[in-house]
Structure 1
Amino acid sequence: MVFTRATQPPTAPVPGVPTSPDATDASRQDDGRRRGARYFRRLAGTDIDEALAFFTGDYDFRAPRVRRTHTQQHWDFAGVGDARMSLRSSRLLVDLQTESLVDDEFLVAWMRSGTSTITFQGREHALEPGVPVVLPFAEAYALHHRDIGLNLVHLDRDFVRSVVGEDDFAFEPMRRPTAEGLRAWQSVVRAHSGTWLDVEHDLTPIVQRSIAESFVAAAVQAFPRRDRWRSSVTGSGPEHDRLRRALEYVHAHAREPIGTTEIAEAAGLSPRGLQQSLRRHLDQTPGDLLRSVRLDGARVDLLRADRDVTNVAEIARAWGFGHLGRFSATYRARFGELPSESLRTR
């Protein structure tokens, strides 16, 4: 996946566009965000100190360390965005190590060239060319870029949460999408990036918002959500690890006809051991856990569905709820509204 049009990395400064960040350029970008219009920014240069100052503004680089990899250093950036979303492309031809932290946007990144390793919570993740991941959100992580060419989609945190309908929604960082999710993400990039990046043509507010919502929907489909259960399982012993494996399995396979036997096998526990572990740490049974995860999944689908092409019964069945009346009652007890009310709010 490669962005084209406006975000194709320039090899020289663009006439009429500043080659380093300044107040005029920042003001133009802020004005565009306030109006809801798309803003366009394109920069290029050889001064790496300027590059670090520019990227630190968006990614909060902390004590960056740079090593030269070429006789002639080079960096460039291009991006088109509004208050909800931006599509960006950047290149930095140096060896860069730094910490970073972003807490107001969700960042989907994929590498075009070079190498990049993200270290998060003690684990190293090597980016793969063309494979998108969601970078860590609201937690510091270390990055090591070498001669990196990178595409990014920035999605405003509050906009994503409003579309999803959850005030604390977040993605699970550094997890590869499934094959189906990758296809959904690539489809949206192919379908809409050219239109979004064509800054010579205005988009109506409806079209502009629709494109941003399409990217959010594809991201939700492609990338795992960061669920609250992760913080509820504390500790580092063998039992905690097995319980996390059980929860991982449930969240990955909740749409499938699974039960206690399959969950226990995935966790390396006996069915009785699974029941005891869940009761001890989460005060739940395997059935409670599976039902809760399925309800959460159904709610996400209801909130983002088009009520003209789907209905509550279809979504309920997709998540393993065969009795619509019981599903509606359980859903209302959990979320304070009927499934039909969630579907109508979009």
Structure 2
Amino acid sequence: MPTGVGRADTRSYRRLAGTDIDQAMAFFTSDYELRAPSIRRTHADTIWDFAGVTDERMSLRTSRFGVDLRSQSQSDDVIVAWLRSGSSTITFDGRSVDLEPGVPVVLPSERYDLHHRDIGLNLVHLDRGFLTELVGEDSFAFEPLERPDAGGMRIWQETVRRYSSTWLQVDTAMSAVVRHDIASAFADAALRAFPRRSAWRTSVSGSAPEHQRLRKALDYVHAHAREPIGTPEIAAAAGLSPRGLQQSLRRHLDQTPGDLLRSVRLDGALEDLRRAERDETSVADIARGWGFGHLGRFSAAYRSRFGELPSDTLRSRPRR
């Protein structure tokens, strides 16, 4: 630890640089769990460097690697990354995204493919346990690789500008309170800046082809639940046979396609009843809008799921 940092300051500083590719790969492979990396020189003299300041909640890092690198990667941390130079393509869940200079994204929490070319990269690592504790949801996750909107970009950039230089001053001791406040500021900025992953997507983890097809099925059901769809349509959207869809849903979610569709429709009806104006709509209207043709069966299923009748949910809305 640099001179002047007190023992109570748990930050650690690390800086490495060189021209030896084997040394670089030994470091990056252990730090970012690179799997089966493939490297091609892009210059006669390869230059690489890394610097980072880390404690138990967060880490600010910067890296540069002047090669063409293809690999797979994964991390237990929540990582926000943005490109300084070069180019990078991240492929996850059947989708490839080219990182844009200066535009931050949250990297996937599951294994993904990467292709870096003469890359310069800034990264913020947030401890996943610290972040989920702040959110209060163990299943919380960000939607990977989604760019923030203009407001989110502004929030993130302002946080980086305000706190980074203080965090990186490792020659000056920092109290536990200040370290916690800075980590909390970065976590709060991430939560405000980046889209959260929909609950139905976090319910299926893994990046194997079966997981990808099942997420496609879930996406299709949530997008088309108001329409007259059934098992054939859901299976076709996911690239599965009807039997394959049934087996996959049973294996991963312990549901049938009918269970899934009914559950999504009930959730939609709940949200509509919560938002509805009591004098302008009825339970029957909302039930029909979500594909429930029999009001009695809808009310029974609704009560079994949410512990109250749909009419009770509607009555809880105040009159204008």
> What is the TM-score when the length of structure 1 is the normalising length?
0.63
Contact 1:36-1:83 within 8 A present in 2 as well: no
Match of 1:50 among 23, 39, 45: 23
Show the counterpart of 1:100. Answer: 73
Aligned CA distance change for structure 1 residues 246 and 203 (closer, same or farther; 3 Å): farther
Distance, in Å, in 1 between the alignment partners of 2:133 and 2:225 is 41
Following superposition, the deviation at residue 37 of structure 1 comes to 1.7
**Distance change in 2, residues 1:270/1:49 (3 Å):** closer
Q: Give the match's secondary structure for 1:284.
A: helix
Distance in 1, Cα, partners of 2:19 & 2:63: 13
Match of 1:39 among 12, 24, 40: 12
Shift of 1:217: 0.7
Residue 89 of structure 2, aligned match among 117, 128, 137: 117
Q: Does 1:289 align with 2:268?
A: yes
Alpha carbons 2:87, 2:117 under 8 Å: kept: yes
Change (3 A) 1:167 1:201: same
CA displacement at 1:227 relative to structure 2: 3.2
Is 1:244 the equivalent of 2:202?
no
1:330 counterpart residue number = none
Q: 1:292 to 1:224 in 2, by over 3 A?
A: farther
The CA deviation at 1:226 is: 2.4
Q: Which runs of 5+ in 2 are unaligned?
A: 205-210, 235-256, 279-305, 308-320
Q: What do residues 210-240 of structure 1 show as CA deviations (whole Å, max 9, x unaligned)?
A: 1100111111111122233125688859xx8
Whether the 8 Å CA contact 2:83–2:103 is kept in 1: the answer is yes
Is residue 275–residue 285 contact of structure 1 (8 Å, CA) maintained in 2?
no
Question: Does the alignment pair 1:202 with 2:173?
Answer: yes
Q: Kindly tell me: are residues 292 and 83 of structure 1, through their superposed partners in 2, closer, same or farther at Cα, counting changes over 3 Å? A: farther
Q: Which residue of 1 aligns with 2:60?
A: 87
Aligned residues: 248
The alignment-based identity, stated in percent, is: 52
- Matches of 1:142 and 1:322, distance apart in 2: 48
Is the Cα contact below 8 Å between 1:177 and 1:223 reproduced in 2?
Answer: yes
| Equivalent residue number for residue 273 of structure 1 | 228
Q: Distance in 1 between matches of 2:149 and 2:197?
A: 16
- 1:159-187 CA distance string (max 9 Å, x none): 11111112222222111112221111111
Output the CA distance in 2 between the equivalents of 1:195 and 1:235: 41
Does structure 1 conserve the Cα–Cα contact (< 8 Å) formed by 2:9 and 2:174? no
Q: What SS does structure 1 have at the residue aligned with 2:62?
A: strand
Structure 1 residue 113: deviation in Å?
0.3
Moved more, 183-192 or 220-229: 220-229
Task: From 138, 146, 165, give the equivalent of 1:167.
Answer: 138
Local SS of the residue matching 1:226: coil
Deviation at 1:287? Answer: 6.5
Distance 1:119 1:232 in 2: 20
* Residue matched to 2:111: 140
Asked if 2 retains the 8 angstrom alpha-carbon contact of 1:116 and 1:126, the reply is: yes
State the distance in 2 between where 1:187 and 1:156 align: 21
Sort the Cα spacing of 1:35 and 1:61 in 2 relative to 1 into closer, same or farther, 3 A: farther
1:151 maps to 122
- Report which stretch shifted further, 227-236 or 58-67: 227-236
| Structure 2 CA distance for partners of 1:190 and 1:245, relative to 1, 3 Å | farther
Deviation at 1:35, TM superposition (A): 5.4
Q: Distance in 2 between matches of 1:95 and 1:236?
A: 31
Q: Is the 8 A contact 1:45 1:74 kept in 2?
A: yes
Classify the secondary structure of the residue corresponding to 1:273: coil
**Deviation for aligned residue 1:241:** 5.3
Asked whether the equivalents of residues 139 and 202 of structure 2 are also in contact (C-alpha less than 8 Å), the reply is: no
Q: Cα distance, 1:146 vs. partner?
A: 0.6
User: Secondary structure in 1 aligned to 2:263?
Assistant: coil
Give a deviation string over 1:306-343, Cα, whole Å, max 9, x none. Answer: xxxxxxxxxxxxx96999xxxxxxxxx89xxxxxxxxx
Superimposed CA distance per residue, residues 106-133 of structure 1 (whole angstroms, 9 cap, x where no aligned partner): 1100000001011112221111111111
Unaligned stretches of 5+ in structure 1?
1-27, 248-266, 294-318, 324-332, 335-346
Q: In structure 2, do the counterparts of structure 1 residues 283 and 54 end up closer, same or farther at CA, with 3 Å as the change threshold?
A: same
Q: Distance in 2 between matches of 1:57 and 1:215?
A: 25
Cα distance per residue 1:34-67 (max 9 Å; x no partner):
9552111111100011111111122101111111
Distance 2:148 2:9 in 1: 31
Q: Counterpart of 1:224 in 2: which secondary structure?
A: coil
Is the radius of gyration larger for structure 1 or structure 2?
2
